Chain A
Amino acid sequence: MARTGTNVVKRGMAEMQKGGVIMDVVNAEQAKIAEEAGAVAVMALERVPSDIRAAGGVARMADPTIVEEVMNAVSIPVMAKARIGHIAEARVLESMGVDYIDESEVLTPADEVFHIKKDGYTVPFVCGCRNIGEATRRIAEGASMLRTKGEPGTGNIVEAVRHMREVQGQIRRLQSMDEDEVMVYAKENGAPYDLLLEIREEGRLPVVNFAAGGIATPADAALMMQLGADGVFVGSGIFKSDRPKEFARAIVEATTHYDDYKLIAEISKGLGTAMKGEEMNETTDRMQERSE
């Protein structure tokens, strides 16, 4: 008797991705480049976040043809994005057999109040978070993996750093608390009490937490790993750089050996221009604020 879609199976899948890089791709060719460079998974999209930002309008789930094309092109897992709260998009992606769904603020939310109740799906979900409240609410809804929201498509690491530091700092604060104080902390953060007790006991989140939203260079990836990320998502950073193949490979290496600075210096040499970044006060549409 095989039990599918259990928490162990869904969270375990994310555990296998640890120390790895998940890359955004928009076609089979890019997916192959990503796989060749050593990506642990690819995110199949119609457009990378910086193009979504530039295009404006409503961003939706990708055309299933693209997702299918990518699934047929590589043997590593394929993820795809559904709009926040869009139960139908999520079910469509699940029926296609994608390996992970990102309920993502990069797309225009379908529901401004409620996220998808994710524990009823066989396919695992990853969600973005900026703090322990968002993190634990997503876990309670059934997310099997988390990532920082950062600010997608900007090539600016500042928001991802803020979100990773915030979550890590809150976990440390929680650990130093007396058990009497946890309920008020739960109230202040809108965080499920039982999950906070579990995190306080273990000293970490019960699911892996990757960095995402603004990673553009090997050193950015290494920085996020040092701040406690379990791995990294790179969206526009690879295929919006001058030399995608080289960037992809260098970011994978920097993620594995994030504390080997000589090596990072070596692999960063002559990489060419990274994607053009955006200063935060020039960023009008803050995707990270689309959900909490």
Chain B
Amino acid sequence: MPSFSETTAQAEHATVGDRSVGPVLPQVARFDTPLPLACGRTLAQYELAYETYGTLDAARSNAVLICHALNASHHVAGFYAEDPGNVGWWDNMVGPGKPLDTQRFFVVGVNNLGSCFGSTGPLSTNPETGRAWGSDFPLITVEDWVDAQAQLADRLGIRQWAAVMGGSLGGMQALDWAIRYPSRIRNALVIAAAPNLSAENIAFNEIARQAIMTDPDFHDGNFEAYDAKPRRGLRVARMIGHITYLSDEQMDAKFGRQLREGLNFSFAPEFQIESYLRHQGEKFAEYYDANTYLRITKALDYFDPATREDGDLARALAPATCRFLVISFSTDWRFPASRSREIVKALVRGRRDVSYTEIAAPHGHDAFLLDNPQYHAVVRAWFERIASEIGAAQ
């Protein structure tokens, strides 16, 4: 199995630590109740791939949902017995004795609809045609994802999450949970996120989509029928995305102007950063689906809960009753701290319980996936408080 949930940060940092949840098994929940989507279409039936770690307590009060970002999956922690190198994308955060302690909490990782890692998406078979959905798979929104996650919660017998937690696009899902399912969530951890995408964010997504859609192997999204894959487009999309996950200073520290050999007056990769980006692009193009990439970036672009309230984020957040922990990172320029502060300001205006911390970290947007003592201490303290409130086992 490919290391499919690998993130940019994970590529260099993931190792199986001594506090791993150990080998894990992905599961699939099948739903036959139709799911109405924001686009107006309905998924008659669908499947969600998920993993769980830890034990649900008798009161069903210790469940935590982890929402993933652009290219991750339900494989949050642990590893697969048959592929020990395939470590969950947030394994440094989730596990026994880790900031989100699986000895106290029942943690659920879910793959979102439209993804390509096990949940129903463009690679799945469309029951109406008997062929892969491909380009005909509907455009999915953050709200659709959360609605599907709520179905999974019902299936697992979880009426209320102790917390919903996510970074980046995952943080947007946590926000949406707080707004649209206020009685089903006691804490929202919104990390390295934003209340919506800026024009610049959308611009980067559009470049990535254009790279994919103008690849001759894209075939209007029906590349499978042509036995093709728009690898070139995916590569460029990934390279663009990757740049926005890092910080200028981190890139300089890691690569600077280092050369592989020397300058050869050619267009072959000469600078280390060039070969690094190409390598990241190649890997991504092998394991990721182009139609999924297009849809997930659109879900990002569309997310904007304030539009439902004439742009008033505080009013959009008014239904929320949970406690919020909002975390940003100093060198994140994809979702800069100022965007997190917008969320905090709206919550303060609504007199909601919110804490906010801005973590000093050099790693840009990717910092939310990396080890950082202060960041992990804050998350640990947050969950310790929740654990003491619900009397979770020590």
Same assembly: no
B→A interface (CB under 8 Å): none
A→B interface (CB under 8 Å): none
